[in-house]
């Protein structure tokens, strides 16, 4: 038979290729190693698709002893602020200012190590000077007004920014980190406000009620986290919603109880309002610090020194409640 003669055999070329594809031992690809349109599915040992490629979410555990330690620190800090305001002598408020200066140094340690601002040494030194000047003005300024402290805060913030401009590596970060620098300076000045409140009518009582509400709120929230940290606020944040809500409620209740035993014009209702504001601010700030730490961890930043990390929340919370107490004295109780 000549090569050009057509073949009538049933095993034509198409059938032969089909048999070759289905023959045992052939590769999964097409004829002559051509790739198949179907992609192989990676399966685990149990026959299910392999999930190694899926991104796993880190679940940060809630450490019971640590939560109790933070609760104790918050309670002691609130008690110290309240007792210091109660025992402050009208003619000599310097001892209370010295105690608050120690708290300001703790605040600087915690927040500078947590936020890592540019030129941390210069920022810490300038903030320490701001703390001394703010405490001095809170003790000696006449009349006792918040305006001098505002000027000190603005001047300290400007000086801290200038101190961050000398080195190139610090200068490149100033634009992105000026908010962190502002929080550090404002927090330091905030701890001078309790001294200022003790020099004003109803200021001492308001400071006591505010410190009690914030302290009870933080302490109850952290103790509840040690016992029942659910529902979780976020998998990366070791806090529970039950503690946050319960702390705010009991902090308000504690302030209402203090309002019932203080002299007029304090009443349980007014104490509850002050406690609600203080407990709400303290709880939100403390929780925001936890979320900020989780964000830095997810971004791959260097972890904060553990002591500073765990003191940061309560210290920031009380620094934020002091300006609120001053505002309540002038705009709610007056």
Handedness of CA 134, 140, 146, 152 (dihedral sign): negative
Q: Say yes or no: 331 and 218 in one domain.
A: yes
3-class SS of residue 166 = coil
In angstroms, the CA 94 to CA 291 distance is 36
Handedness of CA 60, 66, 70, 75 (dihedral sign): positive
Of residues 151 and 54, more confidence is placed in: 151
Q: Say yes or no: 288 and 264 in one domain.
A: yes
pLDDT at 320 over 50: yes
Q: Say yes or no: 206 and 320 in one domain.
A: yes
Phi and psi (nearest 5°) for 79?
A: -65, -40
pLDDT, tens digit, 9 for 90 and up, residues 106-116 = 999 999 998 88
pLDDT at 120 over 70: yes
- Position 101 scores a pLDDT of 96
In angstroms, the CA 173 to CA 153 distance is 21
Tally the domains of the chain.
Answer: 2
In angstroms, the CA 250 to CA 235 distance is 26
> Cα dist. 314→177, 272, 282, 328 in Å?
22, 21, 8, 21
Q: Say yes or no: 175 and 210 in one domain.
A: no
- Position 89 scores a pLDDT of 76
Mean pLDDT of the chain: 84
pLDDT, tens digit, 9 for 90 and up, residues 204-217 = 999 999 999 999 99
Q: Say yes or no: 148 and 242 in one domain.
A: no
3-class SS of residue 10 = coil
Residue range 180-200: mean pLDDT, rounded: 95
| End residue of a domain, out of 165, 180, 197 | 197
In a domain, 111, yes or no: yes
- Position 332 scores a pLDDT of 83
- Position 302 scores a pLDDT of 63
Residue range 282-286: mean pLDDT, rounded: 96
Sequence-ordered strand ranges (E) for the chain:
232-234, 237-240
Q: Both tokens of residue 182?
A: 């502002």
| End residue of a domain, out of 179, 197, 215 | 197
Q: Say yes or no: 188 and 325 in one domain.
A: no
| End residue of a domain, out of 165, 182, 197 | 197
- Position 26 scores a pLDDT of 46
Residue range 18-23: mean pLDDT, rounded: 48
Residue range 41-69: mean pLDDT, rounded: 65
In a domain, 177, yes or no: yes
In angstroms, the CA 107 to CA 105 distance is 5
Which of 250, 225, 220 is CA-nearest to residue 240? Answer: 225
Task: Give the residue numbers spanning the domain of 326.
Answer: 70-86+202-334
- Position 306 scores a pLDDT of 75
3-class SS of residue 321 = helix
In angstroms, the CA 256 to CA 253 distance is 5
Assign residue 135 a region (left: φ > 0; alpha: ψ between -120 and 50; beta: otherwise): alpha
pLDDT at 156 over 80: yes
Of residues 197 and 42, more confidence is placed in: 197
In a domain, 12, yes or no: no
Handedness of CA 152, 154, 156, 158 (dihedral sign): negative
In angstroms, the CA 229 to CA 71 distance is 14
Residue range 164-175: mean pLDDT, rounded: 88
Total count of residues recorded for the chain: 334
- Position 57 scores a pLDDT of 67
Residue range 56-74: mean pLDDT, rounded: 88
Percent of the chain at pLDDT exceeding 70: 82
């Amino acid at each position: 038979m000549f090569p050009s003669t057509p073949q009538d055999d049933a095993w034509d070329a198409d059938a032969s290729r089909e048999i070759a594809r289905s023959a045992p031992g052939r590769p999964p690809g097409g004829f002559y190693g051509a790739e198949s349109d179907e992609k192989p599915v990676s399966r685990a040992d149990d026959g299910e698709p392999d999930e190694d490629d899926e991104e796993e979410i880190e679940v940060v555990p809630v450490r019971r002893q640590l939560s109790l330690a933070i609760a104790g620190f918050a309670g002691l800090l609130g008690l110290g602020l309240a007792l210091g305001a109660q025992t402050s002598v009208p003619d000599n408020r310097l001892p209370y200012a010295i105690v608050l200066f120690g708290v300001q140094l703790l605040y600087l340690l915690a927040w500078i190590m947590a936020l890592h601002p540019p030129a941390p040494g210069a920022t810490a030194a300038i903030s320490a000077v701001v703390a001394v000047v703010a405490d001095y003005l809170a003790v000696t300024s006449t009349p006792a007004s918040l305006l001098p402290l505002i000027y000190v805060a603005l001047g300290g913030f400007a000086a801290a920014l200038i101190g961050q401009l000398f080195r190139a590596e610090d200068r490149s970060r100033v634009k992105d980190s000026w908010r962190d620098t502002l929080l550090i300076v404002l927090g330091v000045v905030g701890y001078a406000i309790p001294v200022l409140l003790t020099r004003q009518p109803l200021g001492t009582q308001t400071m006591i009620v505010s410190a009690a509400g914030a302290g009870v709120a933080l302490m109850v929230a952290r103790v509840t986290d040690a016992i029942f940290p659910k529902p979780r606020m976020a998998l990366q944040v070791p806090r529970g919603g039950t503690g946050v809500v319960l702390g705010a409620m009991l902090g308000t209740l504690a302030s209402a109880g203090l309002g019932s035993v203080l002299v007029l014009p304090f009443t349980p209702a007014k104490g509850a309002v002050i406690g609600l504001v203080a407990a709400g601010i303290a709880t939100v700030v403390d929780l925001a610090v936890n979320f900020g730490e989780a964000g830095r961890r997810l971004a791959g930043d260097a972890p904060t020194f553990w002591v500073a990390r765990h003191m940061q929340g309560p210290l920031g919370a009380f620094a934020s409640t002091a300006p609120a107490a001053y505002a309540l004295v002038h705009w709610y109780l007056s």
